[in-house]
Amino acid sequence: MTASTDVPEKDANGPMLAADGTPLKKSLSRALRVQKMRALALVAPLLIFVLVTFIAPIGDMLFRSVENQIVSDTMPTTTAALADWDGTGLPPDQVFEDAYYDLFVAAERKEHTRLGSRLNYEQTGASSLFRKSGRGLDDIGEVYQDQFEDLDKNWDEAQPWAEMMGSEDWLAKEAAWEKGSRLPKFALRDGVEELLPRTAAQYAIFAGYTHNEERKSLLKEEPWSAVHTALYQDLSTQDVSGYSGPHAEMLKAAAALVASPDFETVSFKDGFGEIDKDWLEPEIWQTLKLYAPKYTSGYFLNSVDMKLTPEGAEARPENERIYIMLFKRTLFMSLVITCSCILLGYPVAYILSNLPARKANLLMILVLLPFWTSLLVRTSAWKIMLQQQGVINDVLVWIGLVADDGRLTMINNQFGTIVAMTHILLPFMILPMYSVMSTIPHSYVRASKSLGATDWTTFWRVYFPQSVPGIGAGSILVFILAIGYYITPEIVGGTTGTFISNRIAYHISTSLNWGLAAALGSILLAVVLILYWAYDRIVGIDNVKLG
Amino acid sequence: MPDTGNSDAFVAFERVQKSYDGETLVVKDLNLSLPKGEFLTMLGPSGSGKTTCLMMLAGFETATHGEIKLDGVSINNIPPHKRGIGMVFQNYALFPHMTVAENLSFPLEVRKMGKSDREAKVKRALDMVEMGAFGGRRPAQLSGGQQQRIALARALVFEPELVLMDEPLGALDKQLREKMQFEITDLAHRLGITVVYVTHDQTEALTMSDRVAVFNDGRIQQLAPPDQLYEQPENSFVAQFIGENNTLEGTVAEIKGDHCVVKLDGGEVIDAKPVNVTKVGERTRVSIRPERVEYNKDRLQEGAHTLKAKVLEFIYMGDIFRTRLEVAGNREFVIKTRNAPDQVRLTPGTEIEIGWLPEDCRALDAN
Amino acid sequence: MKRTKTLLATTALTVAAGAVSAQDMANDMTLVSWGGAYQTSQTKAYADPYKEMHPEVNISWDESSAEAVAKLRAMNEAGNITWDLVDVVAADAIRLCDEGLAMEYDPEELLAEGDDGSSAEDDFGDMIVSDCFIPQIVYSTTFGYRTDMVPEGADAPSDICSIFDLETYPGKRSLEKRPINNMEWALYCDGVAKDEIYDVLATPEGQDQALAKLDTIKDSVVWWSAGSDTPQLLADGEVFMGSTYNGRLFSVIEEQDQPVAMMWDMQVFDLDGWIIPEGLDDDALARVKDFVKFATDTQRLADQAAYISYGPARESSAPLVGKHADLGIDMAPHMPTDPANAANTLLYNYEFWADYRDDIDAKFQAWLAQ
C-alpha cells in the first residue's frame, strides 16, 4: 500500500473523500455514530433506572397536584349539567335528577365515599354527606320499586326485565352463557330506547356493571332501584299504549298505576333533602361545579394559603394560613443550618486536609461515624441531651450557670431542630470541603507568605477563595437535604421547628390528601430548582467541586 | 555585627541543623555564606537536604539548631512574610483565582502600596519578562513557560534583594528550559539580585550559577564555581554526581607530591593526581572524565601509563562519538570524542590502548 | 334491597367455601400491626396459639399500622396487595372503607359467636363502627401525671380540667400534636356540656373557643406525635402530666415502677381492630378469615388483656379477663372500661372527625405555628 491511497483525497472541486471513496463527513459521522451507540448502551441501564425510579415518580407527583378526574368520572352527567348552572341559588331540578343517577351508580361501585373524601378537602362535611347519601339514595328508588313490586312481583325479578330490555339475539346468548366464559355484550331491544329512554339508559348502566364488575348473568340479577325510578319517570311522560313487546301487559299495568292519583312520588330534590339538608344548600353544588374540571389549580392554591371560590382565587382566612409561613420557615432554617454547617465544618475540613493522610483518614472516620448510627437514634439522643432534665441542662445547673427552675428550653423548638440537623448534616458539608481543600497545593500559602502576606491575608485572599467551590458544593448538598428533611424536625421540632416536609408527610400518610402533598412537593421542587438556578447565575455551577 | 565568619556575607547559614522527627538529621551542621549579587545553586539528589535549606531560608521551616542570617541579622524568628524574600516555586504557585496582573499586584497590595504605583510596577515587571500583553489573563490560560515568567515577575515585582527558586524549570520541556535558564541568569545579573537556586539538574546548575553547593546526605559535599566543580571534584560523590565519569578502583601504590601511582584491582598501574588520598596502601577510586581519555597514541604524553581496552560499543551522537569500552574489568568505561574530520571511529571488538594526563585522573576516596 | 341480597349470596358462597379442606388456604400470612408491646400481646394471644393449631402456617408481621392507610392506598394503586390483615384504629378503618381499600364483611359469617351464646353482632355491638372494621380492643387516650410533682398542699389531680389549671398545677403538660381529643377537652373545660361538645366544635366560633382555651396553656405544652413520647417525658420528669394511650401509662406505672398515676377523667375511648384489605385472592382470603374467626373469639380477646391493659371489644370477654401474664396483677381494674375508671368518658366521634379533620387540623396547625 502506498501512502497516497491512505490519505483522503480531494477532487478538484468535490468534498473530501475517505480512503474507500465515501465522503469524509459521512464516513466520520458513521464512525461517531457507532461510538455514540456504544456510549448510549453503556449508560442505558442507569438511564432506564433513573427514568423508572426517579423521573417517572416525579412526573406522577407533578401530575397528581393538578389531577382531579375523580369528580367528573364519578358524577359525569351531574358535572356536565352543572356547567350550565349559574352558581346562584339551588341548581335546577335536572341536576338533582342527574346527581341521583350518578351517585346511585357510584354508591353501587362504592366510589361515592371516595368522592366524599376528595370533596371534604374543599368543603367540610362532604365526607359524611356522601357516605350518608350512598345509603339514603336507595330510599328514593325504593318508593317506586316497592309500588311496582306490589303491583306485580315480576318487577323485582331479573328475567322479565332482561326480556323486556334486551334484544332477542342477546337474550339467546345470555341464556346459553356458562360460568367462566365471556358474558355476551348487552344489546337493547329495538324500539325500547324510544319508548322508555331513561329506563333503557339506566338498565344499560346496570347491565354493564353486572356484566363487567359482578360477572353475573342479567337473567339472574334483578335491577337496582334506580331503574325503577327511571321507569316511573318514563311512564309518567311516555305513552306506552302502543307497545307490544315482551311483558306488554305488565308495562301497561305499571303505566296505569303511575297515572293513578294514589301513586306515591318523591321529587329528587325532596329526596336529597330527606337524606341531608345540606343538599338543599347551594354550597355543595358550588363545590361540585368548581371542582368538576378534570384538572384543578385548587391544590396549588391551597398550598399557598388560598382557595378556589366561585369568584376566583381568594386568600384563606388568617387562622388557616400556614403553608407560606412554613415554606419561609423551611428556607430560613435550612439556611441557618447550612451556615452552621459551614462554620463548624470549615475548620474541621481545613485541619483534615492539612494532616498527613494516615491521621486524616482516622479523623475522617470520626467525621463519618454519625453515618453509622441510625438517624432515629441520633435524633433521639439529642432529645435526651437537650431536654430540660437532660444532660446539658444538668451540667449547666451543676456548674451554676443556670438556676434549677430556670432550665433552658433547647428542644422541641427551632433551636433543637437546628442543633440536631446541623449535627446530622455536618458530614455532607465536611466531605466536599475536605476533598476540595486537599487539592489546594500548600505552595499557594507559601507563595502568598513569601510575597509578604500575613497569615490572615493569606487565608482570606488566597486560601479561602480557592476553597469556595467546596463550600458551594457542601452548601448545596446540605441546603437541599435540609429543605426536605422530615424525621428530625418531626421528633425535635416541637411546633416552631417543623418544616414544610412534615406537612407533606402529614398529607401523605394521615390526611391522605395526596394532591395537596403533591402540590406542596412540586413547589418545594420548584424552589430548589430556582435556588439552584440562582446559584448558577451568581456563583456559577462550574465552581462547585466535589473533589 | 556579632560573630560571622564572613563579614560581607549577605546570606549566612551557621551550624544549621534540621530534624523533622527528632531522630535523624536531614541537614547536618550546615555552614554557608554568600555575598550580595551571587547566584548560588544548591544541587543534589532528592532527599539530600537542599530544599529543606531553602525552606529554612524562606522561613517555612525552622532550624532545629544554628542560625540563619540575612544581611547580618538573624532571621530565625522572623515569620516568612516579614523576610522580604522573593520566591519562585516549582509549580509556579500562581493564584488561580486571580489574573496575572492581580497576582503581580498582590505583594504590592499587602505592602499597602498606592494603586498607581502598583500599576506602574506591575507593568514594568510584566514588560521585564516580556509578558506585557497578558495582564488580564488567568494563569490557567497561559502556557508553562509563560506561567514561569509570571512567577518570576511576581517574585521580583516587590524588588526583593534575595530571590529563592525551588526547581522553577522542572516542569518545562528541554528547549524552553534552556531558554529560561539564560533569561533567569541574565535578569538576575541585570538586577543585581542575590539568588539561591535549588535544582537536581546538574546542567542547569553548571550553566546558571556563580557557585554551586553540592548537597548529599544533609551536608554540602563541595561548594565551588562550576568549572572547578566539574574539573576538580573533591570527592567521589561529586565526581560521580556532576557530569559523566569513569571510575576505576584500586590501591595507592606511591605518592610523590601532586602525583601518585595507583595499582588497580586487576593489576594494572596508572598515574593519578592525589586528591583525597594521603598514604600508600589506601583504597581509592580514581575518576576520569570521558572526554579526557585519549586513545590516539600521538596525543598521549610521553611516559604516561596506558591501559589496554576493548571496544564494546560505538554510538554516533552527532557532535560527539560515545564509545563504551572494557577497561580493567569495568565494562561501563565510556569515552567521548569530538566529531572531527580526522577522528577515528572505533569498531566494536578492536583492542586499543588508552591513556590520560595524570592531572585529569583524580584519586578520590573509596566511598 | 340489593345489598342484603348480595351479602346473603356471599354468605352462602363462603359457607360453601368453609367446607372446603384446609389445603385451599394460603399458608403464608402477613399481619400488620403497631410493633412494641401491643404487637407482642397479639402475637402471644392470637398468633402463637393459632400456629400451634396450624403448624403449616407462616405468620410474618409488618410494623406499619401507623402508615397503613397511605400504604394500602399505594398498594392498591400499584395493584399489588402484600398484606393479609391490617390492625388499624377505627378512624382509619372508616377511611379505608370509604376509599374502597378495606373489605366489607358480615359479622355473623366471619366472626365467632360469643362464649355466652350471644351472636357476634350483638356481642360486639356498637364497636362495629364501620362495615369493614373487625373490633379487637377498646383503648383510651387519657392522662397520667407525676405523683412527685404535685405541688404541696394541692390534691392529686383527678379532674381533666386540672390540665388547664396552671395556677394549682404548674409545670409542663404533653398533648398530642393534633386537634382530636384536645379540642374536646378544651371545650369541656371551658364549660361546654359534654353532649354539646361536637355541636359546638362544628361551628367556627366553637373551634375558636377551643383554641382560645388551649391558648391559655400553650406555653406549657410539649406536643407529642409518637405514642412513646409521653411515657418518656413523664419518666424523665420533663412534664408534670401528659396524655397518651392508657396501655403506655400502665407500662410506665406497673412495669417500670415510675412515680406516675392515672387520671382517668374524660378519657377518650377509641377502638382498634382488624381490616381485611380489598382484593385478596381466594386462598389468602380463606386463611385470613380462618385466622380472624379464631383471633377474635371470646377467649382470645380476653387473653390479650393478660399482656396489655386494653379492654376486649367483646362484651362476653370482659368476665374472662384475668391476671397479667408476667406481673400477676389483676388486669380488670386497669381496663379503661372498668366502671371505676369509666365514670366520666368520651367516645371518639368518628363521623365528626371524618368530616372536620382537615378543616380543624388546618386551623389547629396554624394556631400551633403562631
Chains C and B touch (3+ CB pairs under 8 A): no
Mean pLDDT, to the nearest integer, of A288-303? 93
The per-type count for chain B, helices as H runs and strands as E runs, is: 8, 19
> Which pLDDT score is estimated for B281?
87
More confidently predicted of B297 and B236: B236
Rounded to 10 degrees, the C-alpha dihedral A190/A193/A195/A200 comes to 120
In chain A, residues with a C-beta closer than 8 Å to the C-beta of B80 are 446, 449-450
Q: How far apart are CA C131 and CA C125, in angstroms?
A: 13
Angle at A18 between CA A16 and CA A23, to 5 degrees: 55
> Which pLDDT score is estimated for B75?
92
pLDDT band at B69 (very low <50, low <70, confident <90, very high): very high
Domain housing B35: 9-236
Count of other CB atoms within 10 angstroms of residue B82: 12
The residues pairing with A67 across neighbouring beta strands, listed in sequence order, are A295
Q: How far apart are CA C216 and CA C203, in angstroms?
A: 21
> Which pLDDT score is estimated for A207?
93
Mean pLDDT check: name the lowest of B19-23, B302-306, C258-262. B302-306
pTM for the structure as a whole: 0.83
Helix (H) or strand (E) holding A473: helix A464-483
pLDDT band at A11 (very low <50, low <70, confident <90, very high): low
pLDDT band at C23 (very low <50, low <70, confident <90, very high): low
Residue A167: helix, strand or coil by DSSP? Answer: coil
Q: How high is the mean pLDDT of chain C? A: 90
Identify the domain boundary among B236, B254, B273: B236
Question: Tens digits of per-residue pLDDT, A145-164?
Answer: 999 999 999 999 999 999 99
Q: Is the pLDDT of residue A412 over 80?
A: yes
* Domains, chain A, ordered by start: 3-64 (no CATH), 74-290 (no CATH), 327-543 (1.10.3720.10)
> Which pLDDT score is estimated for B7?
56
The answer to whether B250 touches B264, Cβ cutoff 8 Å, is yes
> Which pLDDT score is estimated for C303?
93
Q: Is the pLDDT of residue A10 over 70?
A: no
Nearest to B154 among A449, A451, A457 (CB): A451
Question: Tens digits of per-residue pLDDT, A177-210?
Answer: 888 788 899 999 988 989 999 999 999 999 999 9
C366·A495 Cβ contact <8 A: no
Q: How high is the mean pLDDT of chain B? A: 88
Mark whether B175 and B291 lie in a shared domain. no
For the record, the C-alpha cell of B140 comes out as 490557567
Neighbors of chain C by Cβ distance (3+ pairs < 8 Å): A
Nearest to A224 among C2, C211, C355 (CB): C2
* Residues in contact with A344: Cβ distance below 8 Å, sequence separation at least 6, in sequence order: A422, A426, A429
Q: In what order do the strands lie in the sheet with B25-35?
A: B25-35, B9-19, B65-70, B73-74
Residue B2 belongs to a domain: no
Question: How many angstroms away from the CA of B157 is the closest CA of chain A?
Answer: 9
Mark whether B335 and B283 lie in a shared domain. yes
pLDDT band at C3 (very low <50, low <70, confident <90, very high): very low
- CATH number assigned to the domain comprising residue B340: 2.40.50.100
More confidently predicted of A62 and C14: A62
Mark whether B51 and B192 lie in a shared domain. yes
| Chain A residues contacting B via beta carbons under 8 Å | 441, 443-444, 446-455, 457-458, 461-462, 465-466
Residue A481 backbone dihedrals phi, psi, to 5 degrees: -65, -40
Using alpha carbons, select from B205, B196, B204 the residue that is nearest to residue B86.
Answer: B196
pLDDT band at A13 (very low <50, low <70, confident <90, very high): low
Extended beta strands in C165-292, E state: 173-176, 221-224, 241-245, 260-275
Q: How high is the mean pLDDT of chain A? A: 89
Residue B356 belongs to a domain: yes
Count CB pairs under 8 A between chains A and B. 66
In chain C, residues with a C-beta closer than 8 Å to the C-beta of A388 are 172, 238
> Which pLDDT score is estimated for A547?
54
Q: How far apart are CA C270 and CA C262, in angstroms?
A: 17
Mark whether B200 and B273 lie in a shared domain. no
C358·A322 Cβ contact <8 A: no
Residue with cell 358462597: C13
Identify the domain boundary among B236, B269, B300: B236
> Which pLDDT score is estimated for C68?
92
* Domains, chain C, ordered by start: 2-132+276-322 (3.40.190.10), 139-270+339-369 (3.40.190.10)
Q: Which residue of B106, B113, B148, B198 is the best one to mutate when testing the A interface, meaning the one whose CB has the most A CBs within 10 A?
A: B106
Question: Tens digits of per-residue pLDDT, A57-105?
Answer: 889 888 999 999 999 999 999 999 999 998 888 999 999 999 999 999 9
Count CA atoms closer than 13 A to A348's CA, side-chain side: 22
The residues pairing with B213 across neighbouring beta strands, listed in sequence order, are B42, B223
Using alpha carbons, select from C272, C45, C260, C54 the residue that is nearest to residue C157.
Answer: C260
Q: Is the pLDDT of residue A14 over 70?
A: no
Instruction: Tell me which amino acid residue B130 is.
Output: E
C99·A117 Cβ contact <8 A: yes
Mark whether B229 and B250 lie in a shared domain. no
Q: Is the pLDDT of residue C13 over 60?
A: no
Closest residue on chain A to C211 (Cα): A319
Mark whether B218 and B292 lie in a shared domain. no
- CATH number assigned to the domain comprising residue B185: 3.40.50.300
Mean pLDDT, to the nearest integer, of C353-369? 90
Q: How far apart are CA A9 and CA A24, in angstroms?
A: 9
> Which pLDDT score is estimated for B1?
30
Residue B50 belongs to a domain: yes
Residue B119 belongs to a domain: yes
Using alpha carbons, select from A477, A370, A485 the residue that is nearest to residue A418.
Answer: A485
Extended beta strands in C171-236, E state: 173-176, 221-224
Helix (H) or strand (E) holding B74: strand B73-74
Closest residue on chain B to A451 (Cα): B107
Mark whether B224 and B255 lie in a shared domain. no
Q: How far apart are CA B120 and CA B107, in angstroms?
A: 14
Put simply, whether A413 touches C (Cβ < 8 Å) is: no
Rg (Cα) of chain A, in Å, rounded? 37
> Which pLDDT score is estimated for C309?
92
In chain B, residues with a C-beta closer than 8 Å to the C-beta of A447 are 87, 89, 93-95
> Which pLDDT score is estimated for C16?
41
How far is residue A547 from each of residues A209, A471, B238, measured CA to CA in Å?
A: 63, 11, 44
DSSP string, A337-369: HHHHHHHHHHHHHHHHHHS-HHHHHHHHHHHHG
More confidently predicted of A537 and A396: A396
Question: Tens digits of per-residue pLDDT, A310-347?
Answer: 888 999 988 889 999 999 999 999 999 999 999 999 99
Question: Tens digits of per-residue pLDDT, B171-212?
Answer: 788 888 888 899 899 999 999 999 999 998 888 999 999 999
Mark whether B312 and B277 lie in a shared domain. yes
Q: Is the pLDDT of residue A45 over 60?
A: yes
Question: How many angstroms away from the CA of A538 is the closest CA of chain B?
Answer: 16
Burial class (CB in 10 A: 0-12, 13-18, 19+), A213: exposed
Question: How many angstroms away from the CA of A466 is the closest CA of chain B?
Answer: 7
Mark whether B266 and B216 lie in a shared domain. no
pLDDT band at A3 (very low <50, low <70, confident <90, very high): very low
Using alpha carbons, select from B35, B34, B43, B320 the residue that is nearest to residue B207.
Answer: B43
Q: How far apart are CA B49 and CA C149, in angstroms?
A: 74
Mark whether B261 and B171 lie in a shared domain. no
A443·B80 Cβ contact <8 A: no
The per-type count for chain A, helices as H runs and strands as E runs, is: 28, 4
* Residues in contact with C187: Cβ distance below 8 Å, sequence separation at least 6, in sequence order: C197, C200, C201, C206, C209, C210, C213
Burial class (CB in 10 A: 0-12, 13-18, 19+), B112: exposed
> Which pLDDT score is estimated for A546?
61
Q: Is the pLDDT of residue A421 over 90?
A: yes
Q: Is the pLDDT of residue B2 over 50?
A: no
* Residues in contact with A200: Cβ distance below 8 Å, sequence separation at least 6, in sequence order: A165, A188, A192, A193
Chains A and C touch (3+ CB pairs under 8 A): yes
Q: Is the pLDDT of residue A467 over 50?
A: yes
pLDDT band at B303 (very low <50, low <70, confident <90, very high): low
pLDDT band at A516 (very low <50, low <70, confident <90, very high): very high
Mean pLDDT check: name the lowest of A102-116, A516-530, B250-264. B250-264
B89: Cα separation from own chain's centroid: 17
For the record, the C-alpha cell of A476 comes out as 448545596
> Which pLDDT score is estimated for C5?
42
Mark whether B66 and B186 lie in a shared domain. yes
Residue B353 belongs to a domain: yes
Percent of chain B topping pLDDT 90: 47
Residue with cell 404535685: C150
> Which pLDDT score is estimated for C14?
43
Q: Is the pLDDT of residue C21 over 80?
A: no
Mean pLDDT, to the nearest integer, of B296-306? 72
Residue B3 belongs to a domain: no
Looking at the structure of chain B, the number of domains it has is 2
Identify the domain boundary among B212, B236, B260: B236
> Which pLDDT score is estimated for A312?
87
Mark whether B227 and B326 lie in a shared domain. no
The answer to whether C352 touches C202, Cβ cutoff 8 Å, is yes
